Structure 1
Amino acid sequence: MGVIDDFEPPLKRLKGPPVVTKEDTLHKLAESSSSRDSMAMPLSSQRENETVGLKGIIRKHEFVKIINRALCSLGYSKTATILEDESGIPLHSSAATLFMQQVVDGKWDQCLATLHIIGPTDEVTLKSAFFFILEQKFLDHLREGKFMDALLTLRNDIVPLSINSGRIHDLSAYIINPSQFLALGLSDQDTAIAISRAKCLENLQNLLPAAMIPERRLEHLVEQALDVQRDACLFHNTLNHDLSLYSDHQCGKDHIPSETLQILQEHKDEVWFLQFSHNGNYLASSSKDQTAVVWEVKEDGQLILKHILSGHQGAVSIISWRPDDSQLLTCGADEAVRRWDVSSGECLHVYEKAGVGLISCGWLADGDGIISGMSDKTICLWDLDGHMVECWKGQRTETISDMSVSSDGKIIISIRGGNTLLLFNRELRCERMIEEEQIITSFSLSKDNKFLLVNIVNQEIHLWCIAGDPKMVSKFKGHKRSRFLVRSCFGGFEQAFVASGSEDSQVYIWHRGTRELLAKLPGHSGTVNCVSWHPTNPHMLASASDDCTIRIWGISNLKCKGTNLYNGKIRHQPNGRT
């Protein structure tokens, strides 16, 4: 005792003979007895009862296996082997390893025999596993040109399972017309078979996870955890690549754009409408001053003037971006629609009809035609050269109406009769209607074409789901509207928020799911007529007001370097500081 080996760590070296007390001896005897009792238990049973984590709900052997599987998927096979050796927990049993190899090699009869060793005890799962194996056996025969063997497998093995009748009909069709199936695969037969068997193995792993850990199981669990954290985050407005595994995710209120970063003052009168382009590279605004303005969004988040579009004889009320953002439509109040080239600022065409004013406009999905709402309460389709291709006289619009076209160009949405929205299907020539109790002033279509924000004259915004039979799902309240047309929009990460203008000169922001009012943004000195959320930057929001300005809202850590606000205008600082 007291002899020190050179290779021992200093902290573990004894400084002198240990003093052994009576209590120490009794403690060691108790530990020895406990250890013997523990060793008497079957090793597998002991491991199955071990847990990790503070709550004791994670089985250690499952946890180790999933980590091992992730290491293999990442290409760290040597590390995975070391983990197996140190933990004594193999990734798969020898029977499961044999089974997976048999699937890869196409030894189907042997697969069925091994399945009974590793497979489940319940009949439903066992039948499903049998179906995957026999289906792959059938497809192999088909690819190898053994049509009679494929037929016998289908008739004698697959059909008696009495499951997946729809898939059995597909397989039967392949027998009748093999070329139909072969046309779906690769020209290289060996490659096609290997890919098909790999897919079969993946299906079996998902069906029998206790025997064979599914591929990317750890990644799936981590993604689930992040999804739960994200869904529970009231202010979540962060792109996916900003999420981290190092800490629990929680966005603060400062992730909502609530700070004025820039004020745009080019318009000489009330700004009625604005909208970001689909790619977010531009912002277009329209005004009572008879102009529209195109602003370019720079990489640093600053907006600079690109074009002033002049030519309308009255106020410009509506703007619509072409799907590829190369062109822009502007609609004068009860006047004409003008089509502009965004790059040059040139007016490419003026759409007008004698004695009739155009009051709203939108693009077809391919960008090769436009749709306009007319003052005679019709909706017309024009080609780019200005020829009226079609006109629907039954679909009536009001002078205050919005009009929107779904991204696939199939559905035209417009206001009808004041308190009704018409959803007209151009292909099926059928219509659905949304009826409100109060007058509708404006509406906004979600990016996925499944939801509508409907602004009502009674100072409410209603969220309607229009996928299938229309139904109202939420109401948003708090903003002020008594005399003017005020617009709202979806926005933020995955359009999780609703923003709206208001007659009290503020911008209102609600959480779309909880309907909670999250922020009121002061700054404007007149009615906020319209808002637009940047389509790719969830931290940028624009608002247009009767005070003749446009405000760009953001979060504090995204302030543009080299600029500062001074008396409502941009003042550049040469030292790069604000």
Structure 2
Amino acid sequence: MTTEQPPSPATSTNKVGDIQVQVRFRTRQQQHAVTDTAILVPARLRRYGLSEIINHLLGRTATDTESDETTLKPIPFNFLIDGKFLQTSLKTYLDNHGLSTENIVELEYVEATLPPSPAAAFEHDEWISSVRGHSSGLVLTGCFDTLGRVWDRSGVCKAVLKGHSGPIKSVSWIPESSIAERYRFVTGGQDAKVFGWEYDAEGNKSRILYECVGHTGSVEGVACSPDGKELATVSWDGCVLLWNTDPNDVEEAEDDNGGESRKRRKLKSDQGADSSVIPLKRAQKRLTGHVGPISCVTFAPTNSAMLVTGGWDHTVRAWDVEQSTNTVTRNCEKVVLGMDYSGENGLIVTGHSDGVLRLWDLRAQEGQTVKLHLSSHTNWVSSVRWSSTNSYTFVSGSYDSTIKVWDIRSTTPMYTLAGGDKTKEQKVFGVDWVGEYIFSGGEDALLRSFAAKV
């Protein structure tokens, strides 16, 4: 194998006695591809110096002060070894892994991304507990003032959702339900109630479609199946309840506690129109297994028959919805507060009361399911969400007032964003990531959005 040394600023200033190492560069981004011939570079180089070499080979050497528009400006790159980002010098990496500088080092490089930038902040009257964005540009929030809200990206509150008598703890859009500018979603509250809603964007009206009756404790999590046909709810009462989302499959009957007929229950709409009867739904299935409150729930993104939950009993559990069975139970050291399931890589990320994020592969054998522990937050991790466009990245929100963007090829966060005033210890309760936008809400009562092209 022949080697060559590129005429790069990074190598032309080598110090006498510099240790050198052979590297072979490769990339999956073909627009940035360079020679795959091994070349000699100083072993002291880190990401920046290696990025200089790639830019030199690409002919990207212009600076902001150069007037020649035909000369391309440099692009920052990140480098991976064995699927992990290089975060030290080449020499340190080789020493830490017991490798010789005589080896040819295979380096994969990818274009680095800019940090997410604040896009907007929309004020609420109280703490925001849960946030969910929609591909249409709408954003759904649940609040401690008992109200839900539908926002557009320009900051206009399109609808105020009145129905709960306690703080709303969780919200979720119903997939595959948007027809002719009509959007359906669900909210769960500390009042043990779950409501199904419809928002008519054309008429700018919202209404309650039904109330789900069955929980006896605060509803901490709601999730809809990928096909939009089923709803799963989890509660402080330790139960997982399953419902169908068909607004026509309802009844008007007494509640589960033998109270007065709920068919007489009336509620004024958020427009102050005539009051109307709220139809009821009863759970189709009840899944039991958790010992204590359940904090979070998610469906497998590509399988409506698989459900995953996490709770205060320090377990992550997978369920077969069709058979109503707990198929997998995995234990961990701390309370599970938030979770999300990636359909792209099959991994589940969970946030915990020890500030640690854990990545799980429930397909692995017992004892091998926690693939990665990620530590950076200094308080409870309340919410997590995978990027909808990148299978490597996710966002986390914490009681430490921060939002962190992670890439699972690194053990440290890519970026840390402000989710509240850290001097006031304002907690972040909910995060979401839809397309190029990250959303968050928490104790500062602001719905924050960040432009994130990761």
After TM superposition, the score normalised by the length of structure 1 is: 0.49
Q: Which residue of 1 aligns with 2:338?
A: 442
- The answer (yes or no) to whether the contact 2:384–2:396 under 8 Å persists in 1 is yes
Aligned residue identity for 1:335: A
- The answer (yes or no) to whether the contact 2:235–2:294 under 8 Å persists in 1 is no
In structure 1, distance between residues paired with 2:127 and 2:142: 9
In structure 2, distance between residues paired with 1:547 and 1:389: 35
More helix by share: 1
Q: Is it true that 1:501 corresponds to 2:358 in the alignment?
A: no
Q: Is it true that 1:474 corresponds to 2:366 in the alignment?
A: no
Q: Which residue of 2 aligns with 1:94?
A: none
Per-residue deviation, 1:528:
1.8
Determine helix, strand or coil for the equivalent of 1:345: strand
Per-residue deviation, 1:347:
1.2
In structure 1, distance between residues paired with 2:29 and 2:417: 34
In structure 2, distance between residues paired with 1:411 and 1:442: 17
Which segment drifts farther, 543-552 or 380-389? 380-389
Per-residue deviation, 1:353:
2.9
In structure 1, distance between residues paired with 2:146 and 2:158: 17
- The answer (yes or no) to whether the contact 1:262–1:553 under 8 Å persists in 2 is yes
Once the two structures are superposed, residues 515-543 of structure 1 have per-residue CA deviations (whole angstroms, 9 ceiling, x without a partner) of 22222223622222222122x22xx2112
In structure 2, distance between residues paired with 1:264 and 1:493: 25
Q: Is it true that 1:551 corresponds to 2:448 in the alignment?
A: yes
Once the two structures are superposed, residues 176-215 of structure 1 have per-residue CA deviations (whole angstroms, 9 ceiling, x without a partner) of xxxxxxxxxxxxxxxxxxxxxxxxxxxxxxxxxxxxxxxx
* Equivalent position to 1:528, from 428, 434, 439: 428
Q: Which residue of 2 aligns with 1:178?
A: none
Q: Which residue of 2 aligns with 1:291?
A: 147
Once the two structures are superposed, residues 424-458 of structure 1 have per-residue CA deviations (whole angstroms, 9 ceiling, x without a partner) of 11235451012102222222222437111111221
Determine helix, strand or coil for the equivalent of 2:390: helix
Once the two structures are superposed, residues 11-51 of structure 1 have per-residue CA deviations (whole angstroms, 9 ceiling, x without a partner) of xxxxxxxxxxxxxxxxxxxxxxxxxxxxxxxxxxxxxxxx9
- The answer (yes or no) to whether the contact 1:411–1:423 under 8 Å persists in 2 is yes
* Equivalent position to 2:298, from 404, 408, 417: 404
Aligned residue identity for 1:462: R
Aligned residue identity for 1:522: A
In structure 2, distance between residues paired with 1:444 and 1:354: 23
In structure 2, distance between residues paired with 1:378 and 1:533: 28
Q: Which residue of 2 aligns with 1:413?
A: 308
- The answer (yes or no) to whether the contact 2:145–2:166 under 8 Å persists in 1 is yes
Q: Which residue of 1 aligns with 2:198?
A: 341
Aligned residue identity for 1:498: F
Q: Is it true that 1:350 corresponds to 2:244 in the alignment?
A: no
Q: Which residue of 1 aligns with 2:114?
A: 255
Count of matched residue pairs: 317
| Alignment CA distance shift 1:481-1:310 (3 Å) | same
In structure 2, distance between residues paired with 1:435 and 1:453: 14
Per-residue deviation, 1:411:
1.0
In structure 2, distance between residues paired with 1:283 and 1:454: 23
Q: Which runs of 5+ in 1 are unaligned?
A: 1-50, 57-220, 236-244, 558-578
- The answer (yes or no) to whether the contact 1:375–1:399 under 8 Å persists in 2 is yes
- The answer (yes or no) to whether the contact 1:378–1:391 under 8 Å persists in 2 is no
Q: Is it true that 1:395 corresponds to 2:289 in the alignment?
A: yes
In structure 2, distance between residues paired with 1:530 and 1:271: 8
For residues 127-146 of structure 1, the aligned pairs below 5 Å read: none
More strand by share: 2
- The answer (yes or no) to whether the contact 1:358–1:375 under 8 Å persists in 2 is yes
| Alignment CA distance shift 1:270-1:433 (3 Å) | same
The higher radius of gyration belongs to: 1
Q: Which residue of 1 aligns with 2:267?
A: none
For residues 5-404 of structure 1, the aligned pairs below 5 Å read: 225=30, 250=76, 255-257=114-116, 259-265=117-123, 267-277=124-134, 279-297=135-153, 302-324=154-176, 325=178, 326-343=183-200, 344-353=205-214, 358-383=219-244, 384=246, 385=250, 386-388=280-282, 390-396=284-290, 398-399=292-293, 401-404=295-298
- The answer (yes or no) to whether the contact 2:130–2:430 under 8 Å persists in 1 is yes
Q: Which residue of 1 aligns with 2:438?
A: 541
Aligned residue identity for 1:496: Y
| Alignment CA distance shift 1:499-1:522 (3 Å) | same
In structure 1, distance between residues paired with 2:27 and 2:225: 41
Aligned residue identity for 1:544: G
Determine helix, strand or coil for the equivalent of 2:206: coil
- The answer (yes or no) to whether the contact 1:274–1:543 under 8 Å persists in 2 is yes
- The answer (yes or no) to whether the contact 1:359–1:375 under 8 Å persists in 2 is yes
Per-residue deviation, 1:360:
2.9
Aligned residue identity for 1:475: H
In structure 2, distance between residues paired with 1:307 and 1:435: 41
In structure 2, distance between residues paired with 1:520 and 1:369: 35
Once the two structures are superposed, residues 68-101 of structure 1 have per-residue CA deviations (whole angstroms, 9 ceiling, x without a partner) of xxxxxxxxxxxxxxxxxxxxxxxxxxxxxxxxxx
Q: Which runs of 5+ in 2 are unaligned?
A: 7-25, 35-46, 49-57, 61-73, 78-110, 251-279
Aligned residue identity for 2:377: H
Once the two structures are superposed, residues 278-303 of structure 1 have per-residue CA deviations (whole angstroms, 9 ceiling, x without a partner) of x2522111111111111223xxxx44
Determine helix, strand or coil for the equivalent of 1:268: coil
Once the two structures are superposed, residues 325-367 of structure 1 have per-residue CA deviations (whole angstroms, 9 ceiling, x without a partner) of 5311100124211111132321111112385664432223332
Per-residue deviation, 1:304:
3.1
- The answer (yes or no) to whether the contact 2:294–2:309 under 8 Å persists in 1 is no
In structure 2, distance between residues paired with 1:404 and 1:331: 14
